[in-house]
Amino acid sequence: MTLTLTPHKLSGSVTPPPSKSQSHRYLIAAALAGAGSVIHNLADSQDIQATRHCMSALLDAGKAWWPLFEVPKDMPPEELKACQARQERALQATGGDLPLLFCGESGSTLRFLIPVALALRGGARFWGEGRLMERPQKPYFDLFEEKGVYYRQRENILGVRGVLAPGEYRLPGDVSSQFITGLLYALPLLEDDSKIMLTTDLESRNYVDMTLEALAAFGVKADWLEDRALVVPGGQTYRPAEVAIEADWSQAGFWYAANGLGNEVDIKNMNPRSTQGDRRAAAYYEKLCQSGTVDLDVSQCPDLVPELAVHAALRAGQTTHIVNAARLRMKESDRLAAVREELCKLGARVTEGPDSLTIQGVDALTGGRVDSHNDHRIAMMLAVAATRCSGPVTLTGAESVRKSYPNFWEDYTALGGRTAREEDV
Ligand SMILES: O=C(O)C1=C[C@@H](OP(=O)(O)O)[C@@H](O)[C@H](O)C1
Ligand SMILES: C=C(OP(=O)(O)O)C(=O)O
């Protein structure tokens, strides 16, 4: 979908959608607990739908899902046939008898459920779209080599098969915290105790703490032993619980950024004491509202980068360094490159380092044609930028917001944002 955004000030109030990270976590725990849980305010984004689908396919083999091959409309028939044959071969080669789980583009779904599928069903095949299957899985693959778990990736399908045995799991903490979360869900189901040992410092630590909080809510124990070690007692059962999901701090960050650009958005229903690491959005916003050079360490809150960058882009005459951001290259897009490329198209001054961005604030942005890189957070960043551009912004790939904030465009227009589909212009 292509939208033309006509610059206009935003004002009014908004409640950001339910937290994506909490929704994944409570949904998985509730499914593992069997009937009887109540989850208030569950998100309904594409990523959460993927986790819902995967859990029901894992727990109820009768609900098998078969993929629809999405192909360009104008693909010649021979090419279409060859493409379908390749997918069929990949489906067989990755374990024809294993449950097939559709993860869409959700890294959380895939990485949380790989160990869960091993523990529950001795394995599964995971179907990914977009960039998902190019995102790193090495920490799992290294563990699987060591522990004799079989894995194979063909095309966009990853098959894993084997026994997840209790014991010591050693993995790096600086690739993605999602591997640790996945193990934390599965290891309590094994007959004996396990330990997770981190071989590097942990980035995105709050996400692991959110996992521990979710496990505790469903009666499952796991805890830090020391800075780089977690203990996970075996032989546990998930118990039904009633939980409520908070508003999402990562998404609230876009509205904070909008305010930094002179809009007047009243952001409602945020929990300032949340375990969501992205509650840093409020403190980082304060820092960016002061003058002088600002350094922002995003090792614990990678998802905030696009919104911090757009706010920084308009700190006229001031410099902002966004540092410790290497893992941003492994998200739905290479987010460091995408932020630089798209903001620069609108007249921002952004340079890229291997794990950082340096932004020299300007006093105005121009309009222009920009692209989301099929990345929800880049689309939302550009929508915020458009409120302060001197001319219209035409955004391709605007539908990518469905991954985490399906009502984003409704909220944006309710606040006074002006959008028109390109064909309507
Ligand atoms: O556990 C989670 O819910 C998430 C962890 C983070 O990933 P990394 O640990 O890979 O940084 C974050 O970027 C992602 O959007 C959600
Ligand atoms: C990277 C993200 O999510 P995931 O890793 O779950 O795909 C995100 O929401 O920005």
Does the active-site annotation cover 303?
A: yes
377 lines ligand 2 (CB under 6 A): yes
Is the Cβ–Cβ distance between 188 and 115 less than 8 Å? no
Specify the DSSP element, H or E, that contains 350: strand 349-353
Q: How many residues does the chain have?
A: 425
Which structure tokens are listed for 234?
């075996």
- Nearest atom in ligand 2 to the alpha carbon of residue 108 is 6
**Residues whose CB falls within 8 Å of the CB of residue 97, separated by 6 or more in sequence, listed in order:** none
140 Cα distance to chain centroid: 18
Sign of CA dihedral 96, 154, 190, 209: negative
Q: Considering the chain, what percentage of its residues have pLDDT values greater than 90?
A: 89
108 lines ligand 2 (CB under 6 A): yes
- Higher per-residue pLDDT: 15 or 94: 15
Is the distance from CB of 5 to CB of 233 less than 8 angstroms? no
279 lines ligand 2 (CB under 6 A): no
pLDDT of 63 strictly over 70: no
d(CA 209, CA 163): 27
Domains 3-17+247-424 and 20-244 in one fold: yes
Residue 72 clears pLDDT 80, i.e. is over it: no
Q: How high is the mean pLDDT of the chain?
A: 94
Six-digit token string for 90: 């990949």
* Cα–Cα dist 15/175, whole Å: 32
Residue 68 clears pLDDT 80, i.e. is over it: no
To the nearest 5 percent, what fractions of the chain are helix, strand and coil? 40, 20, 35
Q: Report the side by side order of strands in the sheet with 368-371.
A: 368-371, 393-396, 3-6, 418-421
Instruction: Determine the Cα–Cα distance for residues 369 and 354; give it in Å rounded to an integer.
Output: 26
Instruction: Work out which ligand 1 atom sits closest to the CA atom of 24.
Output: 3
Residue 366 identity (one-letter amino acid) = T
Q: Out of 3.40.47.10, 3.30.1780.10, 3.40.1390.30, 3.65.10.10, which CATH number does the structure's domain 3-17+247-424 have?
A: 3.65.10.10
Average pLDDT over residues 84-92: 84
310 has a pLDDT exceeding 50: yes
Which residue has the CA at smallest separation from atom 8 of ligand 2?
303
- Name which residue sits closest to atom 12 of ligand 1, judged by CA: 303
Annotated active-site residue in 47, 248, 278, 303:
303
- Span 44-56, average pLDDT: 94
Parse the chain into domains and list their residue ranges. 3-17+247-424, 20-244
Torsion sign over Cα 310, 301, 322, 324: negative
Q: Confirm or reject: Cβ of 111 under 6 Å from ligand 2.
A: no
Instruction: Encode burial over 329-354: b for 16+ CB neighbours within 10 A, e otherwise.
Output: bbbbbbbbebbbbbbbbbbbebebee
- The pLDDT tens digits of the residues spanning 112-148 come to 999 999 999 999 999 999 999 999 999 999 999 999 9
Domain 20-244 sits in CATH 3.30.930.10? no
Phi-psi group of 95: left, alpha or beta (phi > 0 → left; psi -120 to 50 → alpha; rest → beta): left
Specify the ligand 2 atom closest to the Cα of 106: 7
- Regarding the beta carbon of 178 and ligand 1, being less than 6 Å apart is answered yes
